[in-house]
Amino acid sequence: MAPRRKEPSPTEADSGSEVDLNLNFQYTPSASIPQAMESIDKWKSKRSEIQKSIEQDFIERLSSLRDQMKERFEDESQKLSDHNKEQLRKLVAALKKRLECEEKISERIDSLRDDCAHVGMLVDAVYAGRKEAAAQSARASKSNQLKK
């Protein structure tokens, strides 16, 4: 709750009332009013010029800031674009290198497949030759046993 207001002392309450009651409402303009009006008009025009000057300075400063921001934005955009192009170039180079490696691996696998097929054929030929030699040896030993 807000504190209560202090009651004015009797001397404070009475001191302003006499001045208010003795106001003279019959004011007569003096001869210096045209000079005062001239001075007021002079100050109004001076204030208007100062306001225009301030407004012009503000507009110039604002356009300067806008130009600086636009220039910085263009610089940053160009840097970002250059960086992205460089990253893309590196990626393309890496992909080309990977494709070359995959092709070499594929060629090596094909070569090994051919070599394995050749070795298999040689093993089959050796096996068939040994089988035939074993069969001839068995026939020869059978015929030697029959002759005895």
What pLDDT, on the 0 to 100 scale, is given for residue 104? 97
pLDDT in tens, 47-93: 999 999 999 999 999 999 999 999 999 999 999 999 999 999 999 99
Residue 31, φ and ψ in degrees, nearest 5: -75, -15
What pLDDT, on the 0 to 100 scale, is given for residue 10? 55
Is pLDDT larger for residue 69 or for residue 31? Answer: 69
* CA-based nearest residue to 94, from 86, 105, 104, 106: 86
Distances (CA, A) of 4 to 1, 7, 8, 13, 100: 9, 9, 12, 18, 92
Confidence label for 143 from pLDDT (cuts 50, 70 and 90): confident
What pLDDT, on the 0 to 100 scale, is given for residue 30? 63
Residue 141 has pLDDT above 90, yes or no: no
**Does pTM top 0.75 for this prediction?**
no
Look up tokens 């301030």; give the residue: 54
